[in-house]
């Protein structure tokens, strides 16, 4: 099927527009973080823990209104971002995650959507600058170093497993970026809360990291299993300890250990955060080093 160059061009324009909108959102979040008041606390009940409270709309400060604008810009950026993927898929007549540029784009979109959902559940909007900055870096690298023209995929990727396996593993990997960042922020808050008064409470950061990992881990597990099934169909074996397979498995073990420790040993706080950060580091290592430096059966993915 010939590539529709017009749609491919629209896809590139939408990608760059989304990148610009995200950058503007980061600046708005940074203004809120810099000038907003420290989160207020209200008693949850007699003897209960303090909980963060949002100010009523009528009491919003100028900085908080700017933060809301940042949230709105994040949603707009996500819409443009989704449009770029849809246009890329339509231009090539296939799933729009057949090379590293497209894979990175889908992963970052999953991270942004996860962040938008978390903002609706937790009083964490002012963390947007911390969360979106690494996503912006990934998108910039994807649109420059890893960029690939819209084209049919290589023969090895012409399979319905491309739609199933790659989408699941990239979405789950994108979701897991968020608890990695919030776990780092948790350590900062827990180490010296007086130095970081404007960060949400350590308890909020800990719960957010845990709940996001709980949701992403089953998807990550399914992605690894589906990849093994595809490997058997394509290469005649379910598992061959390819570098990408190996690091993905080690990441799975780390996240499984994190959830197991939280559920059975009652590990909360610093120890759990360090385990989550280790999983985050492996996730990023697998994304870049394994794909860009090492050679293996997965290296054909647009490199």
Confidence band for 113, pLDDT divided at 50, 70 and 90: very high
Distances (CA, A) of 187 to 107, 201, 275: 25, 11, 12
pTM, two decimal places:
0.87
Within this chain, do residues 194 and 111 fall inside the same structural domain, yes or no?
A: no
Q: Give the tens place of pLDDT for each residue, 207-249.
A: 899 999 999 999 999 999 998 888 888 777 887 777 888 888 9
Q: Specify whether 140 is located in the same domain as 168.
A: no
Percent of the chain beyond pLDDT 70? 87
For residue 29, pLDDT beyond 50: yes
Indicate the residue among 126, 153, 180 that finishes a domain. 153
- DSSP annotation of 265: I
pLDDT at residue 299 tops 60: no
Residue 58 is predicted with a pLDDT of: 52
Whether pLDDT at 83 is above 80: yes
Question: Do 14 and 81 reside in the same domain of the chain?
Answer: yes
Report the alpha-carbon distance of residue 98 to residue 61 in Å, rounded.
Answer: 45
Lowest average pLDDT, out of 20-24, 61-65, 176-180, goes to: 61-65
**210 shares its domain with 73:** no
Residue where one domain finishes, among candidates 153, 177, 194? 153
Question: With b meaning 16 or more CB within 10 Å and e meaning fewer, what string describes 132-143?
Answer: bbbbbebbebbb
Query: Rounded mean pLDDT of 72-92?
Result: 96
209 to 78, 178, 206, 248, 262: CA distances (angstroms)? 22, 7, 5, 20, 11
At residue 160, the pLDDT reads 83
- Residue 267's domain spans which residues? 154-303
- Please name the residues in contact with 71: beta carbons below 8 A apart, sequence gap of 6 or more: 25, 116, 119, 125, 128
Specify the number of domains making up the chain.
Answer: 2
Averaged pLDDT for residues 265-282: 86
At residue 109, the pLDDT reads: 97
Q: For all residues of the chain together, what is the average pLDDT?
A: 85
Do 145 and 161 fall into the same domain?
A: no
Q: Do 135 and 232 sit in the same domain of this protein?
A: no
Do residue 41 and residue 142 come from a single domain? yes
- Whether residue 72 is predicted with pLDDT greater than 70 in this model: the reply is yes
pLDDT(132) > 50: yes
Q: Clarify whether residues 36 and 141 are in a common domain.
A: yes
């Amino acid at each position: 099927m010939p590539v529709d160059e017009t749609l491919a061009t629209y896809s590139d324009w939408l990608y760059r527009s989304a990148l610009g909108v995200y950058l503007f959102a980061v600046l708005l979040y940074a203004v809120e973080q810099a000038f907003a008041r420290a989160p207020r606390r209200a008693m949850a009940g007699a003897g209960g823990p303090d909980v963060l409270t949002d100010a009523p709309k009528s009491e919003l400060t100028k900085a908080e209104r700017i933060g809301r604008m940042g949230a709105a810009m994040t949603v707009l950026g996500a819409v443009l971002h989704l449009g770029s993927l849809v246009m890329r898929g339509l231009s090539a007549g296939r799933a729009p995650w057949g090379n590293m540029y497209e894979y990175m784009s889908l992963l970052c979109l999953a991270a942004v959507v996860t962040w938008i959902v978390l903002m609706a559940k937790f009083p964490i909007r002012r963390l947007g600058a911390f969360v979106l900055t690494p996503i912006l870096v990934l998108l910039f690298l994807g649109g420059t170093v890893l960029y690939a023209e819209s084209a049919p995929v290589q023969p090895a990727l012409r399979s319905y497993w491309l739609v199933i396996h790659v989408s699941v593993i990239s979405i789950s990997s994108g979701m897991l970026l968020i608890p990695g960042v919030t776990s780092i922020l948790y350590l900062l808050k827990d180490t010296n809360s007086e130095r970081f008064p404007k960060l949400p409470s350590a308890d909020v950061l800990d719960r957010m990291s845990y709940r996001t990992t709980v949701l992403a881990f089953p998807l990550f597990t399914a992605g690894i299993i589906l990849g093994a099934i595809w490997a058997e169909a394509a290469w005649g074996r379910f598992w061959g300890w390819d570098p990408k397979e190996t690091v993905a498995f080690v990441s799975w073990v780390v996240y499984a250990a994190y959830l197991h420790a939280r559920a059975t040993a009652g590990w909360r706080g610093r120890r759990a955060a360090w385990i989550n950060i280790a999983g985050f580091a492996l996730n990023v290592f697998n994304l870049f080093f394994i794909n860009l430096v090492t050679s293996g059966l997965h290296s054909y993915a647009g490199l």
